[in-house]
Amino acid sequence: MSTSIALLGLGFSLGFMHALDADHVMAVSSLNNKRPGLSRMLRFCANWALGHGGILLFSGLLLFGLGWHLPPSLQQAAEISVGIMLIALGLWCFWQFKHQNITLERHAHDDVDHVHLHVLGDVTEQGHGQQSANQKIKRNEGHAPVMVGVLHGLAGSAPALALVPATSQGNYVLALGYLLVFSVGVMISMLFFGLGLGSIQDFLQRHYAKLFQVQRYLIASASVLLGAFWLSQTV
């Protein structure tokens, strides 16, 4: 019993740390970089964690339930795709910045001045059918973090799964329990990260709008650089 509890505790701790890998936090930050906001950031973090945990549990079912394993070629392709994705996300942010008409407006509420950043002329919202376009954007924003999480789960599944057979000693329920608490640890850690970054971005947007814009460009640049480094280490 104590061994099982220790294994589950280990799974949660490793999951909590695993979520904060540089490629994970950079991908979520870049996805949120178009319109940074706390609620949007938390939603992206939760969706990313669902995709990551879902593919990990699915891989565990195949491994421990059916005796299958993920082909090394699939994991290698996922690793390469992570680097390409990070570069693409960074470049996509720069493209969005170029085509957005960003204005800063100051408002006074109860003797307190607030600076709000308004994004006008978004290329994805121009033209006819604006309401339909907005609904499509919301659906894509929900799907994209999940798919990115799935990609990260495929790329990082080998280390997470390799530890289970040696520690679970063939206990199928314990092995899946380990993967479940690992995924819960990932979810909680990513939400903490989202809460921290989202709160900082909200503060900067209200009080230091120019600095807020600078950090958006820094996130986009860091995503491209990390993606290039990732590819150099993987290919």
Question: Is the CA virtual torsion 88, 35, 140, 79 positive or negative?
Answer: positive
Overall number of domains in the chain: 1
Domain region containing 46: 2-234
For residue 153, give both structure tokens.
């789960």
DSSP class per residue in the chain: -HHHHHHHHHHHHHHHHHTT-HHHHHHHHHHTTSS--HHHHHHHHHHHHHHHHHHHHHHHIIIIIS-----HHHHHHHHHHHHHHHHHHHHHHHHHHHH-EEEEEEEEETTEEEEEEEEE--GGG-SS-HHHHHHHHHHHHHHHHHHHHHHHHHHTHHHHHHHHHHHHTT-HHHHHHHHHHHHHHHHHHHHHHHHHHHHHHHHHHHH-HHHHHHHHHHHHHHHHHHHHHHHHHH-
Question: Is the CA virtual torsion 189, 42, 158, 68 positive or negative?
Answer: positive
**Tens of pLDDT, residue by residue, the chain (235 residues):** 677 788 788 889 989 999 999 999 999 999 998 888 899 999 999 999 999 999 988 888 877 777 666 777 887 888 999 999 999 999 999 998 887 655 555 556 555 555 555 554 444 444 444 455 455 555 666 689 999 999 998 887 666 666 665 555 667 778 788 889 999 999 999 999 999 999 999 998 888 888 998 999 999 999 999 999 999 998 7
Model's pTM, two decimal places?
A: 0.81
Count how many residues are written for the chain.
235
